Amino acid sequence: MTITQLRTQELRHHLDPHLAAMPADPWWLVTRTHQFAAAAGITVDVVLDAVTWCRRTGLQVGRWWAGAAFVGEPGARVPVPLIYLNRQLCPTRGQAELVIVHEMMHARWPSYGHRKIAFDRAQQLLDVVPAPRS
Ligand SMILES: [Zn+2]
């Protein structure tokens, strides 16, 4: 396991177990992404299909990617980062929380890469966005 995989696994969401086990439907994925973006102080756009992602970014996504974030290049950042979530690899709400904050850390703090500080920021997002009641 790489250090990045390890740091990803160490992220902790705050959903109740029954909520965490529920399917992450498109509404959930989009709504939670915007909630985490608000907590990060940014606006993002979110897409759930790879074709749209490729068309809008000119980049490919691997079929094994749970998510991706497009922020442009250093010095030429896009005003609204684009986040892609792969529904097949975010099957439950609990798993989706971790993928969303991972991509949000790239969208909000792109220069941090996969350093520990990036994952600290991702955990802070998980800590401040309240879990829905049901
Ligand atoms: Zn990453």
Mind listing the pLDDT tens digit of every residue in the chain (134 residues)? 788 888 988 999 999 999 999 999 999 999 999 999 999 999 999 999 999 999 999 999 988 899 999 999 989 999 999 999 999 999 999 999 999 999 999 999 999 999 999 999 999 999 999 988 75
CATH code for the domain in which residue 105 is found = 3.30.2010
Distance (Å) of CA 130 to CA 13, 58, 124: 10, 34, 12
pLDDT reported for residue 93: 97
Domains in the chain: how many in total? 1
For residue 14, the CA-to-ligand 1 centroid distance in Å is 21
Domain-embedded: residue 55: yes
Question: Is residue 9 one of the residues assigned to a domain?
Answer: no
* The pTM of the whole model exceeds 0.75: yes
Evaluate whether residue 109 is within a structural domain: yes
Q: How far is the CA of 133 from the centre of ligand 1 (A)?
A: 29
Which parts of the chain are beta strand (E)?
A: 45-47, 67-73, 76-85
Domain assignment present for residue 16? The answer is no
Q: Is 17 contained in some domain?
A: no
Give residue 88's domain range.
25-126
Both structure tokens of 60:
């490919």
pLDDT at residue 63 in the model? 85
Other C-beta atoms within 10 Å of 43: how many?
A: 12
Give a yes or no: residue 30 inside a domain.
yes
Find the 113 Cα to ligand 1 centroid distance in Å.
7
